[in-house]
Every structure is written in C-alpha cells, then in structure tokens.
Amino acid sequence: MRGGIAPIDHLTPSEAEQVETLGAVIDLKGEPAPGTMKTDLHCHTEASHDCSTPLDLFPARCLARQVMVQAITDHNQIWGAQKLKEKVEKRAEEVGVRLTVIVGEEISTRE
C-alpha cells in the first residue's frame, strides 16, 4: 500500500486504503499508549445521506477498536449524534462501559 500503511487486524485492506486516501494515520500498534486514548473526530451515521451504518452498531465497533471518544458529524443533521449519545449514556449506566460521544455536524454551505 502507498505510504507504508498496511492493513491491521481490525481493518480490511479496502478500509486501510480508504483511511490512507483520506490522509489519516493508522496506529499499527493497535493499543493506545498508557495515559492516552483513541478518538475518532469525524464519523457519519445513518442520519447522513452517505452512510448506512445503524446507530446500534457504533458502541460495539468503537469498543472493538478501542475508540473511547467518538464524534458524530452527520451532514446537516444532529439527530443521529444526539440519539447515539443518549443510547451510549444509558448503556454506560447499565453495563459500566464508558464511551464519550461528541455531538457535531458537518454543515453544507456555499460560503
């Protein structure tokens, strides 16, 4: 792959290629360093026209990838992020798993 980024156990070769194309960096170690956490600051849900990932799949996917902070930045919508944040906070009380959801929005504009 270009740039020396190779697929790792939780990414398919296609996913790794997409990540590289977008200019992101993959942590090949897989584990966050002590005193740090993994975050994803730009992600879409089923609320965006270009994503079909159901909200219910996000918590398990984040935990499997050890992402502890997930920003949801749907296109011109915040309901997906708000609903996910509500679900995650309710579930955290029930099972004690902590995932922070940041409510964001990717706004389309001509300005």
Identify residue 10 by its one-letter amino acid code. H
Q: Are 55 and 21 members of one domain?
A: no
Q: Are 24 and 36 members of one domain?
A: no
The answer to whether residues 99 and 88 touch, using CB atoms and an 8 Å cutoff, is: yes
- pTM for the structure as a whole: 0.68
Domain range enclosing 6: 1-30
The answer to whether residues 81 and 103 touch, using CB atoms and an 8 Å cutoff, is: yes
Residue 39's CATH number? 3.20.20.140
Q: Are 70 and 89 members of one domain?
A: yes
Per-residue pLDDT of 38-97, as tens digits, reads 888 999 999 998 888 888 888 888 888 888 999 999 999 999 999 999 999 888 777 666
pLDDT of residue 71: 94
State whether residue 3 is helix, strand or coil. Answer: helix
Q: Let me know the angle formed at the C-alpha of 69 by 3 and 14, rounded to the nearest 5 degrees.
A: 35
Q: Are 20 and 44 members of one domain?
A: no
Per-residue pLDDT of 1-20, as tens digits, reads 334 434 455 667 777 777 66
